[in-house]
Amino acid sequence: MSTPRSHDLRPFLHTHAFGDAAAPRRERALWWVTAITLATMALELVAGYWSGSLALVADGWHMGTHALALGGAALAAHMARRVHGNVRFAFGGWKIEVLAAYSSGLLLLAVSVWIGIDATRALVTPHPIAYQQAMVVAAIGLVVNGACAWVLQRGGTHAHHGHDHHGHDAHAHHDHDHATAHDHNYRAAMLHVLTDALTSVLAIVALAGGLVFGWNWLDPLVALAGGALIARWAFVVLRDSARSLVDASSDTRLRERVRRAIETDGDARVADLHVWQVGPRAWSAVVSVVADRPLPSADYRARLGGITELQHVTIEVHQCPGCGL
């Protein structure tokens, strides 16, 4: 029985953790926003029960639902970072965050349906509105969500600048980066904050119209419009996160760039190609190359060096006399 040869495998090893440098900053921002929302919830509940204000109590529990969603996003970001490099997770923990984003999208959709039902009921059966009290609650919500949006915006700054372009197809990479390379979980959390801010703004406008002109119908009508917009945002989150969950490539441009880069010599042909997202700004590719005079796989891999989105590439090479003609 022959003795196995000893090989230096270090040049062939690579990471399977595809997080980016901005991930810890985004996680901290999510925890801060969760804390701010929980503090506001507690303040509104205490003030509401003490003063007997049902509007404050209702908004306090409403803040609680957002705190649940934001806290879930923060926990998902934390868990995803914890499992980076864990061999049990083939491509790191990014899909934990994608799953959280999908759950947030479902919650946003449920909120839009609840708003629609409540607004329709109010249109059919109008009820008295404590305009001044409700406007105070809406103003508090707007200030809090403005602060949360500012924290999240700062936490997400530079999220799209983790790689140098090195002059390789910079414009195409820039377009692709902005079109597809995003953090689903973070964006879903931002949408939760923005939807709450939107409902606060719309509520203030509608309540002001009702207070000044006596238009009781304006509040539920504006709420219906806001609910429809929230449903649209929820659909976008659900669509994009679902694509990532099932490894569907939403953009064919990256596939075509891989194919063109491999087939530059007129001999090699791409017989099979799979490209899918494995991180906020990271993609994986499996390429089957057929050629009359095949080169080492390292040569074909070098042709993909200018496509910086590709962080995990597997190439198999086959010789097929006559197939490259």
**pLDDT at residue 14 is higher than 80:** no
Give the pLDDT confidence score for residue 51 in this predicted structure: 61
**pLDDT at residue 176 is higher than 60:** no
What average pLDDT does the chain have? Answer: 79
* Of 49-53, 164-168, 301-305, minimum mean pLDDT range: 164-168
Give the pLDDT confidence score for residue 257 in this predicted structure: 92
* pLDDT: which is higher, 33 or 53: 33
Structural domains in the chain, sorted by start: 17-245 (1.20.1510.10), 253-319 (3.30.70.1350)
Dihedral, CA atoms, 185, 137, 227, 97, nearest 10 degrees? Answer: 10
Q: For CA atoms 84, 90, 94, 97, give the dihedral sign.
A: negative
- Cβ–Cβ < 8 Å for 96, 78: no
Render pLDDT for 126-165 as a digit per residue (tens, 0 to 9).
Answer: 877 788 878 888 888 889 989 999 998 888 765 443 344 3
**pLDDT at residue 269 is higher than 90:** yes
Q: For CA atoms 152, 153, 158, 160, give the dihedral sign.
A: positive
Give the pLDDT confidence score for residue 289 in this predicted structure: 94
Give the pLDDT confidence score for residue 258 in this predicted structure: 93
Is-above-0.75 flag for pTM?
no
Render pLDDT for 277-299 as a digit per residue (tens, 0 to 9).
Answer: 888 778 889 999 999 999 999 99
**pLDDT at residue 178 is higher than 60:** no
Give the pLDDT confidence score for residue 272 in this predicted structure: 92
HEC letters along the chain: CCCCCCCCCHHHCCCCCCCCCCHHHHHHHHHHHHHHHHHHHHHHHHHHHHHCCHHHHHHHHHHHHHHHHHHHHHHHHHHHHHCCCCCCCEEEEHHHHHHHHHHHHHHHHHHHHHHHHHHHHHHHCCCCCCHHHHHHHHHHHHHHHHHHHHHHHHHHCCCCCCCCCCCCCHHHHHHHHHHHCCCHHHHHHHHHHHHHHHHHHHHHHHHHHHHHHCCCCHHHHHHHHHHHHHHHHHHHHHHHHHHHHCCCCCCCHHHHHHHHHHHHHCCCEEEEEEEEEEECCEEEEEEEEEECCCCCHHHHHHHCCCCCCEEEEEEEEEECCCCCC
- CA distances in angstroms from 303 to 22, 236, 310, 318, listed in the order given: 28, 34, 12, 17
309 closest CA partner among 185, 166, 186, 190: 166
**pLDDT at residue 184 is higher than 90:** no
Give the pLDDT confidence score for residue 3 in this predicted structure: 59
Render pLDDT for 86-130 as a digit per residue (tens, 0 to 9).
Answer: 667 767 778 888 888 899 889 889 888 988 888 888 888 887 778
CB hemisphere CA count around 312 (13 angstroms) = 20
Render pLDDT for 195-224 as a digit per residue (tens, 0 to 9).
Answer: 888 878 888 888 888 888 888 888 888 888
* pLDDT: which is higher, 34 or 2: 34
**pLDDT at residue 259 is higher than 90:** yes
**Interatomic CA distance for residues 13 and 6, integer angstroms:** 16
Give the pLDDT confidence score for residue 172 in this predicted structure: 40
pLDDT band at 10 (very low <50, low <70, confident <90, very high): low
Q: For CA atoms 110, 245, 283, 31, give the dihedral sign.
A: positive
Give the pLDDT confidence score for residue 35 in this predicted structure: 92
